[in-house]
Amino acid sequence: MLNYDPIALDSDSNQAQETVKLLTLSAVQVDVILQESDLSVNTLTESFTDIIKNMQMINSHLLSLEASDPRSEALACCLETKEKIQTAIIAFQFYDRMQQCLQHVTSNLRGLSKLVESPDKAFNPSEWQELQSQIRSRYTMESEKVMFDTILQGKSIDEAIAAKNACQVSSPDNVELF
């Protein structure tokens, strides 16, 4: 384990190098949590798939039985379970959105690190414009673009979130495809 004294930074280090290190650390942390969460989501997806198959088999067996109150109750339970599973699967779409957003964050952090790392680029306005253009081009959801544009206009985080929310409300079906 390295002994690290945050107060005694190496005299040769500079602000840009330290910024790059912290940006890289942030990108790595997001990447790691995305990889770890993928395993959990894959397990959940496989479980839901198995549950759906089992419910379909149970439903088929029940339909082959003679009509009775227990049969009707069991079929109703199968239908309710199917609806709950479909609701849960739709809720998984949130994870997909979150993962896409976090992937954008890591790409943005890496791009920013490369820019800040090079003094020639860091003080060149066209390099900053190119980075901003690359970042915006990665966004597939209109609300992300609106939030990005709001921040680049110099507005606050709260204003950017409000603009994003307004964009989502104004979309006709309130669903964004990505």
> Could you tell me the pTM of the whole model?
0.66
Distances (CA, A) of 33 to 21, 29, 67, 74, 92: 19, 6, 51, 41, 17
Q: What is the 3-state secondary structure (H, E, C) of 77-112?
A: HHHHHHHHHHHHHHHHHHHHHHHHHHHHHHHHHHHH
H or E element: which one contains 65? Answer: none
Domain edges within the chain = 15-138
List helix spans (H) across the chain.
Answer: 15-64, 69-117, 119-122, 125-138, 142-152, 157-170
The 10s digit of each residue's pLDDT in 82-135 is 888 888 888 777 888 888 888 899 999 999 999 988 888 988 999 999 999 999
The band of 174, judged by pLDDT with boundaries at 50, 70 and 90, is very low
Other CB atoms within 10 A of residue 84 CB:
11
Please name the residue that has the structure tokens 């082959």. Answer: 64
Top pLDDT among 149 and 41 is at 149
pLDDT at 177: 39
The 10s digit of each residue's pLDDT in 138-165 is 988 898 999 999 999 999 999 999 999 9
Q: Taking the alpha carbons of 47, 49, 54, 55 in that order, is the dihedral positive or negative? A: positive
